[in-house]
Amino acid sequence: MADGTTTPTIILCGGRGTRMSEYTTTLPKPLVPIGERPVLWHIMKIYAAHGFTDFVLALGWLGEAIKEFVLHFEALTRDFTVEVGRPDSMTFLGDHPEQGWRITCLDTGVESLTGTRVRRAAAAIAGDTIGVTYGDGVADVDLAAVMAFHRAHGKLATITAVRPPGRFGELRIADGVVKAFEEKPQTSGGAIGGGFMLFEREAIERYIPTDQDVMLEREPLSSMARDGELIAYEHSGFFQPMDTPREQTLLTELWESGKAPWKVWS
């Protein structure tokens, strides 16, 4: 298995974000800001703090806006000098705090479901171990520990289990092994899947079909759980999705107060 410096991380960036419609009719949800930077930047900073710097953005709805952000990332996040009339004269000032990041933008279909996005992105990149997370959730999870946990258990897939509100896919866990994955149960008292996942390529090839458009959170993860190939890294710290305007406001207030728990970088 690869280590963090060589393990690619697929970030699911293609959904419409309908609960954030005041933003997402013109802006893809991964570009909705927390403070002065998009939530996508915050997610990549979390990963980079643990040595994961190879990012694969699985694009869909308004994907061209994310491509524009990536193409102009240095200019948007650094100081620079330009001589007017000589656009090729741009000189960046100082070091870039994100130097060494590798960002791949892949169009995985405007209407594709999450499992299909993962399969299409994985087919375009190398590596036996592949990270996957959502483009709208932040946490103070120790990603190096998730990788060590994944390696130690030798299963095909690891999902990070968290405990926020019960509107997500619920995990039933026994001795660290996921016994069932239930999509959005009506009542929830247990752990939920919070993203920050690791898959062996075999898991993607075996459980995500090539001839169907599928949600990762339904049959693929459910089948992995039934086969005993899905384990859960239980994270008891901070986790917060940004699925509604209220949650965007909460995260922005935490960030601007200087008390953002997910800011694990210096």
CATH for 9-80+92-255?
3.90.550.10
The proportion of the chain whose per-residue pLDDT surpasses 90, expressed as a percent, equals 74
- Note the pLDDT of residue 164: 64
- What is the model's pLDDT at position 1? 40
pLDDT band with cut points at 50, 70 and 90 for residue 163: confident
CA distances, 59 to each of 163, 193, 212 (Å): 28, 21, 18
Check residue 23 and give its pLDDT: 77
Q: What is the pLDDT of residue 186?
A: 45
| Mean pLDDT computed over 126-155 | 96
DSSP annotation of 19 reads G
Residue 5 to residue 91: CA distance in whole angstroms: 28
Strand segments, DSSP code E, in 35-153 are 37-38, 54-59, 79-83, 86-93, 102-107, 129-134, 137-139
For residue range 24-51, what is the model confidence (pLDDT) as tens digits?
788 999 999 999 999 999 999 999 999 9
Do residues 7 and 54 lie in contact, with contact meaning Cβ atoms separated by under 8 Å? yes
Residue 265: pLDDT above 70?
Answer: yes
- Is 258 a residue whose pLDDT tops 70? yes
pLDDT of the residue at 210: 94
Q: What is the pLDDT of residues 178-193, one digit of tens each?
A: 777 666 554 445 688 8
Q: What is the pLDDT of residue 21?
A: 76
So where are the chain's domains? 9-80+92-255
Tokens in use for 17? 């974000």
pLDDT value of residue 88: 82
**pLDDT one-digit tens code per residue, 84-111:** 988 788 898 988 889 899 999 999 999 9
CA distances to 89, 98, 99 from 73, in Å: 17, 10, 11
More confident residue, 171 or 74: 74
- Mean residue pLDDT of the chain comes to 90
